[in-house]
Amino acid sequence: MKPAEQSPVIARKLMEMYLQAGLPPGVLNYLPGTGETVGAALVAHPDVALIAFTGSRQVGLAIHTKAAEISAHGTRMVKHVIAEMGGKNAIIVDSDADLDEAVQGVVHSAFGYAGQKCSACSRAIVVEEVYDAFVHRLVEATRSLKVGPAIDPSTDVPAVIDREAYERVMSYLEIGQSEATLAVAG
């Protein structure tokens, strides 16, 4: 198990739980480090049969390519790669939807964990007949969110994990402002 370098503690705690539950030592190994070093070594190792990756499209494609090369020339098996690469998850809101429930679903999915999860809602597809009502309710719900420290239980939206994530969010805001009229920004 090689966690993202930004969040090794959670994976370490999970590893401890596996061991406490009786998983024999060596069946699952905890391998923290950067993707460029530890991740690359795992992908290249001839005895690693399965790679599960969540991250960018660019890195996911590089993993697929390297796994295919190694499978063709240096392993007894074909490496399997499962990759979730920068998905754009949508919530669809139809005309018969409960708009309050739909708004809460979008808000929870888009802003939970500060939107830093692969399943975060990054777009809502809303039928025209309920679009205006949905957007109005979504704007109000979004404006009511409290931004603050993660340690404060009343915080709805904590800070993102690091400077790189912050800069990525800011770049998406710039794209949004250049391509559309934003209902809420800030």
As annotated, the residues of the chain forming the CATH 3.40.309.10 domain(s) are 89-161
Region 132-143: mean pLDDT is: 97
Q: Is the pLDDT confidence value at 167 over 70?
A: yes
- Between CA 168 and CA 63, with CA 44 as vertex, the angle to 5 degrees is 35
Q: Is 118 a catalytic residue?
A: yes
Is residue 75 within 8 Å of residue 46, measured between CB atoms?
A: yes
Report in angstroms the alpha-carbon separations of 13 from 5, 103, 104, 130, 166. 15, 33, 30, 44, 26
pLDDT, tens digit (0-9, with 9 covering 90-100), for 89-135? 899 999 999 999 999 999 999 998 888 887 889 899 999 999 999 99
Region 133-162: mean pLDDT is: 95
The pTM for the full model equals 0.72
89-161 adopts what CATH topology? Aldehyde Dehydrogenase; Chain A, domain 2 (3.40.309)
Q: Is 84 a catalytic residue?
A: yes
pLDDT, mean over the chain: 92
Q: Which of 36, 69, 84, 167 is catalytic?
A: 84
Q: Which of 16, 118, 140, 164 is catalytic?
A: 118
pLDDT, tens digit (0-9, with 9 covering 90-100), for 64-101? 999 999 988 877 889 999 998 877 789 999 999 999 99
